[in-house]
Amino acid sequence: MLKYLGKRIARSFLTLIIILTAVFCLLRLMPIEGYFQNFDKMTPQQIQVGLKEMGLTDPLPLQVIHFFKDLLHGNLGVSRIYRSNVPVSDILADKVPVSVKLGVWSMVVSLLVGLPMGALMARYKYRWFDRVGTLFIVCIQAVPAAVYFLYIQLYGTRLMGVGLLFQIDNPKYWVLPVVSMSLGNIAFYGMWLRRYMVDESNKDYVKLAKAKGMSEGGVMFKHIFRNAFVPLAQYIPTAFLNTVIGSIYIESLYSIPGMGGLLVTVIKKHDNTMVQGIVLLYACVGVLGLLLGDLLMVMLDPRISLGKKVGDR
């Protein structure tokens, strides 16, 4: 276990280095306007002096080395356009808690609704609840998310009596964004848990438990659900962390001052340093989610040995 964990951490670290290096190099191909707030009013001499002060006239390999040295000291650089000369880490510190709150609530709703829905769909397979659940899943999967997000905003704001301008201190304004962010994960958990539980229900240990007189409901929820949840569990950390760092579309739609809306804003403003810092955060979250997913599977099912290749992804 420890040997495998060490390998995964080393591999994750190497993946992060490759991602950050690629992003860093690609951003250096972007127009230099993204490093100056008043680029149109600057002379060529001022631009060159500014680039030299930021180290952007150095050879690219040397720039990469300086970037990772600053990163080890917790320095993500400073914003040049979004908030002039303000450290990127300070800006993210203001935005992350908002996205965390939104993400945690939406993830709680997703698990509390999606898992019971999938379990009940499997329990009452081909009955009315299964058909209704299947219809819901098909609609969420088939209809573009932007469409039902807009409908939720349009009719939900009228129904709840809230305005279009988000108020962070008013709980009513959190309901629609949380519901919107939850729908995709609810459909995902419901669909796959139903499929895994139906597959498990055809195995020999289920037939043996029923032959011993155990009720169908008891077998379904005490044995089938537990075993079916294991392969689904590996996706929960990634989904949770991705939800926590914010939804680009939803936060922009409701004007929520979180990470998702921030990314859209800094891309529009061509603030290269800010884009670089946010991509770093997203990359860390993605890699960490995969690692935690494997560890969660082992905790739920000790039969899985991560030291073997069959347990590796």
10 Å CB burial of residue 107 (0-12, 13-18, 19+) is buried
If one compares 41 and 63, the residue with the highest pLDDT of the two is 63
DSSP the chain: -HHHHHHHHHHHHHHHHHHHHHHHHHHTTS-GGGG-TTGGG--HHHHHHHHHHTTTTS-HHHHHHHHHHHHHTT---EESSSSTTEEHHHHHHHHHHHHHHHHHHHHHHHHHHHHHHHHHHHHTTTSHHHHHHHHHHHHHHHS-HHHHHHHHHHHHHHHHT--SS--TT-THHHHHHHHHHHHHHHHHHHHHHHHHHHHHTTSHHHHHHHHTT--HHHHIIIIIHHHHHHHHHTTHHHHHHHHHT--HHHHHHTT--SHHHHHHHHHHHT-HHHHHHHHHHHHHHHHHHHHHHHHHHHHH-TT--TTSGGG--
Name the band, by pLDDT with cuts 50, 70 and 90, for residue 313: very low
The rounded distance, in Å, linking the Cα atoms of 278 and 289 is 17
Q: What is the mean pLDDT of the chain?
A: 80
What does the pLDDT read at residue 113? 93
The pLDDT of 270-291, averaged and rounded, is 79
What is the pTM assigned to this prediction?
0.76
User: Strand pairing partners for 78?
Assistant: 87
> 234-279: per-residue pLDDT in tens?
777 767 666 665 577 788 888 888 877 787 788 888 787 888 888 8
How many C-beta atoms surround the C-beta of residue 99 within 10 A? 23
pLDDT above 70 as % of the chain: 90
> 115-144: per-residue pLDDT in tens?
999 988 888 888 999 999 999 999 998 888
Name the band, by pLDDT with cuts 50, 70 and 90, for residue 4: low
What does the pLDDT read at residue 132? 93
> 152-181: per-residue pLDDT in tens?
988 888 888 887 778 888 888 899 999 988
Do the beta carbons of residue 193 and residue 226 sit within 8 Å?
A: no
Do the beta carbons of residue 163 and residue 93 sit within 8 Å?
A: no
What does the pLDDT read at residue 312? 45
> 92-122: per-residue pLDDT in tens?
888 888 888 888 888 889 989 999 999 888 8
For the chain, list the domains and their CATH numbers: 90-270 (1.10.3720.10)
What does the pLDDT read at residue 131? 93
pLDDT above 90 as % of the chain: 7
